[in-house]
Each structure stands twice: as structure tokens, then as C-alpha cells.
Structure 1
Amino acid sequence: MTDIDELVRRNADFVLDEFLTGLSLTINPTGNMMVIGCVDPRVDPGRVLGIKRGEAAMIRNVGGRITPATLRTMRMLSKVGAANPDGKASGPWNLVILHHTDCGMTDLAPHTDLLAEYFEIPEQELAGKSVSDPYGSVRVDVGIIQEEIRSPDFLVSGLVYDVESGLVEVVVPPTQVPTT
């Protein structure tokens, strides 16, 4: 078990070797990017995608799924960004949905009541969520973003990370979110 003392020691190493000054100047990501990924400890979206600290906002949840709670979090973050316009980069936002192979979400497939609650849908609609297929689920979630976010200022893409090879596959290339 990793204890708190060990974490504090690691933090001291972080401050010496990796801490970046100046990030406190703006809360907005320098890369106009948001990544939504899974909580699986094997899949750190920043590391997998080579994202630098401060370059992207990260949302992590079970399966990296677009749920009503994820959409609420995104709305809240947009308000935070709007309240802090200094340092906001110009250009469109790149919204990246990152799913992965061998996801624990597959283990939840038999627990339809729990999944229905998570997605806030009736159990009969779960088949449409493609819980056992990361390629299908990333397409489903890109479709939800395209329906829910009506702004030409967003590009949305869907990626699948292979936990065996370490490679990322583009399943849905960056696509402008429709406005109507």
C-alpha cells in the first residue's frame, strides 16, 4: 500500500523536477482541449496522449463515458472558463473522448440496474450504449456530444487506447460539432 508519507515524498520530488511555474496565471487550458477518459489506473490520458500540464482539461469517470453527469460537469467547466477569460487561446476547442480496450465497464454489463442508473436511462436502452465494445462506445459518445453541444467552436473526436500495445487508434476523426 502506498501511504501518505510516501505521497508527500513523491510530491517533493515533483516540485524539484517537474513543477511548472506560471500555470496559476490562467485556469483555461493552453491547448483549447478537453479529454474525457476512464478512471482505469492503466490509462492516464495525459501520459497516453503526451499532453503537457496545463494544456488540457481532463474529466475521468467509469468508462470515460458521456453521461448526464459528464455533461453537467462540462457545463460547469465552461462557466469557470468564461469567468476567467484571460489567457484563453483563440480557435476551436478540441474535445477528445478516449476509451480503451479491456475496460472494467465490460465487467458491469451484467449489472443492468447499476448501468441504467449511471447513464440515467431505462434498462431497455442499455444496448444502445455499447458497454462491452470500446470502438462502439466511443462512437456512441461522440454522437451524444454532437447532439448536446451545439457550437461551431468545438471539434470532437473519438480515440481507443489499446492497453496491450500502448497505441491509440482514431475511431472518429476530429469533426466539427453541428450547430443545428
Structure 2
Amino acid sequence: MTDTTELIRRNASFAAGEFKAGLGINPSGNLMVIGCVDPRVDPAFVLGLEQGEAAVIRNVGGRITPATLSTLAMLRKVGQANQTGKPTGDWNLVILHHTDCGMTDLAAYPELLAAYFEITPDQLPGKAVSDPQGSVRVDAGIALREVSRDSFLVSGLVYDVDTGRIDTIVAPTRGHRTAP
């Protein structure tokens, strides 16, 4: 069992040897990753990210939901309020789904999933819940419509939990917002 005492011990080791002082609130790599809460798929680890390189949002399935869109809007405001040290250039939003996702198990609970996506149960087939390649395409499409602006690229990746490899399903694409 991993208890608080163990976590404090690990933190002391981190603070002594791996902590990087002086990191800014904005990611140094102009990168945001949305991934699943599955412990096998820690986006920072599987993508080899450095501390401070990316903002990482994790939720069930790594999905773009209304709550995710709200989080992204809030983070955009935080970035606007903290311009100092903000890197220039294109921002990259990476949507990272994976094989053997527990969300597939939730297909048996359409009311629960519909509430999560804030849709009606009859709209669930359009979310491709049991297909990681399909679901990353769906979510990249939402991001391209709702999140993107001229300096924002959206990518969709699928991590294979059996091989540790990532496949690009949606190449970096520049989208256009449909709403102001």
C-alpha cells in the first residue's frame, strides 16, 4: 500500500534531486495534453515530458467533454494573465487516448456516459466510446471546432498499453473556432 508516509519520503527525494526551481506557470513547450486517468497511461511519462514542459489534463477516457472545454477556457485566461515568460509560436493540444480503456466498460451504463458527455443516450454512438482511434478522431474534431485558433494545432494520438508505442491518428492540424 502506498500511504502518506511513503509519499512524503518520495517527495523528499524528488525535492533533493529532481525539483526544478523557477519554472513559470506557462508550459515551456507550448504544449497541453489531455489524457486518461488510467495509471498505465501517465502522459508525462509515456511522452517523455520534462517538468514544466506541458500542461496535462487527465479525466476519464481523456475525453473532450463540456467540463474539459470549461477547463481549457479557464487555462486560457490564466495564460493571458501571465504573459511573462510565455513562449512564442504555435501551441499544441495533444489528445491522448489508449487501448484497453476502462471507458469501454462504461458502455454498459449509457445514462452515466450520456451525463458525462452532457448529451442524450441516443447520441452516444457518435462518441465512439469503445474505439480509441475513433474516439480520438471525435475529440480532435471537437477541439478543432471549439478550442483552436490560428496559433493552435490539435493532434490525436493513441497509446497501446501492450507495446508502449503511440500511433498518430490525427496529425497536427490547425482548426478554426466556430464560436467567438
Q: CA RMSD in A?
A: 0.9
How many pairs are equivalent?
178
CA shift, 1:92, in A, is 1.1
Residue 111 of structure 2 aligns with which residue?
Answer: 113
Residue 160 of structure 2 aligns with which residue?
Answer: 162
d(CA) in 1 for partners of 2:147, 2:71? 13
1:5-20 counterparts in 2 under 5 A?
A: 5-20=5-20
- Matched to 1:136, the amino acid is G
d(CA) in 2 for partners of 1:33, 1:22? 18
CA shift, 1:12, in A, is 0.5
d(CA) in 2 for partners of 1:76, 1:115? 24
CA shift, 1:150, in A, is 4.4
1:35-54 counterparts in 2 under 5 A?
A: 35-54=33-52
**Alignment pair present for 1:75 and 2:73:** yes
Q: Which runs of 4+ in 1 moved over 3 A?
A: none
Q: 1:38-77, CA deviations, whole angstroms, 9 ceiling, x for partnerless residues?
A: 0000000001001111010000000000000000000000
d(CA) in 1 for partners of 2:92, 2:17? 29
TM-score (norm 1): 0.97
Identify unmatched segments of 5+ residues in structure 1: none
TM-score (norm 2): 0.97
- Matched to 1:48, the amino acid is V
- Matched to 1:129, the amino acid is K
CA shift, 1:179, in A, is 4.9
Q: Contact 2:148–2:154 (CA<8 Å) still a contact in 1?
A: no
1:50-129 counterparts in 2 under 5 A?
A: 50-129=48-127
Q: 1:16-40, CA deviations, whole angstroms, 9 ceiling, x for partnerless residues?
A: 12111111xx200010110000000
